[in-house]
Amino acid sequence: MTSETAFSIRPATPADVVHIHAMIVELAVFEKLEHMVVATEALLHDGLFGARPSCEAIVGEENGEVVTFALFFHNFSTFLTRKGLYLEDLYVRQSHRGKGFGTQMLQRLAQIALERGCGRFEWSVLDWNEPAINFYKAMGADVMPDWRICRVTGDSLTALAERG
């Protein structure tokens, strides 16, 4: 942080949903996955602030402008028999990269994990995103070479649920 820039991190509020949603779309474009985005501000608001929130978010502001977000939730490790903190997405707007904001966001999430008694803090990264992989390794993360994400969605999810 320079003396010219005021950067702060805080929990997201309902007023931040519009900014987070816009950055989710930016992230999808960056990852070449915009065709998969069905998120709306209403759905995001429900996930973060509805009757039964399923996730949380923090935002980073530079001089009062929301320029980064991290969306996360708790999971559970059967081997550790402790909850963990899972980072679904961390995004820093292109024009605000290189200022250390991503590092500060990860540090804050690690603090939250420790404050909540989590046994681990984890996330996924696309295998082609070498800058992110190198950044995460520099932060002390281990990229798990033997693990692959398995996902069932849409019609496949329905079909799996209906198997008898």
Question: How big is the chain by its Cα radius of gyration, in Å?
Answer: 17
Q: How many CA atoms lie within 13 A of 141 on its CB side?
A: 21
For residue 5, the model assigns a pLDDT of: 72
For residue 4, the model assigns a pLDDT of: 63
CB atoms within 10 A of CB 65: 10
H helices within 116-153, ranges in order? 130-138
pLDDT digits (tens, 9 = 90+) for 54-93: 999 999 999 999 999 999 999 999 999 999 999 999 999 9
CATH class of residue range 7-162: alpha beta
